Amino acid sequence: MPNPSFPLRRLSLEAIVDMLRGHQLRITKNRLEIVSILLRADRPLSLEEIHERAAGDGQASDYATVFRIMTLLENLGIAQKVNMNRGCSYYELLNPNQHHDHLICTECGKVTLMINSCPVSSVERTIEKKYGFSHVRHSLEFFGECPDCNDDYR
């Protein structure tokens, strides 16, 4: 059963296009390209990285267009900002079938996805009951040194 806190039932280009159409939004080449870039990403991407990858794929998206598209996807609940403890925003698509949190190396910036090991899932249900909220979700980031950067681990 899909998680009701996600507007999508599955994470795919087709599902996102269907959702955009359902909101009477145009399906532009720039939107398709940016969603495709995010679908291929193995970690959260900054706006600059999304812009660079779009330019590398031959698209002419300017930085403002990337920003507007990411804001749209975030407002629709398709994407979220991830705090990478850096000076810019990072984004990832929300997968309704797989929640993950992030472990971020403070030395090299490596991002490790903590899949199916969420320490606060039960807290979400408590918050829903106590405060009357529904469809509570979260984004959780832990920071530390990865094994490659940690001298004590080697």
Per the structure block, which two tokens stand in for 10? 């599955």
The mean pLDDT value of the chain amounts to: 84
C-alpha 82/C-alpha 80 separation (Å) is 6
Stretch(es) of the chain classified as CATH 3.30.1490.190: 99-154
Mean pLDDT along residues 50-74:
87
Q: Look at phi and psi of residue 26 and say left if phi exceeds 0, alpha if psi is from -120 to 50, else beta.
A: beta
In CATH, which of 3.40.630.40, 3.30.390.10, 3.30.1490.190, 3.90.1150.10 is domain 99-154? 3.30.1490.190
The structure's pTM equals: 0.73
pLDDT of 124 higher than 80:
yes
C-alpha 52/C-alpha 20 separation (Å) is 24
Helix (H) or strand (E) holding 81: strand 79-82
pLDDT of residue 25: 94
Helix (H) or strand (E) holding 27: none
Q: What is the pLDDT of residues 6-58, one digit of tens each?
A: 565 678 999 999 989 999 999 999 999 999 999 999 889 999 999 999 887 66
**CATH number of the 1-97 domain:** 1.10.10.10
Stretch(es) of the chain classified as CATH 1.10.10.10: 1-97
pLDDT of 118 higher than 80:
no
pLDDT of residue 59: 63
Q: How many residues does the chain have?
A: 154
pLDDT of residue 3: 44
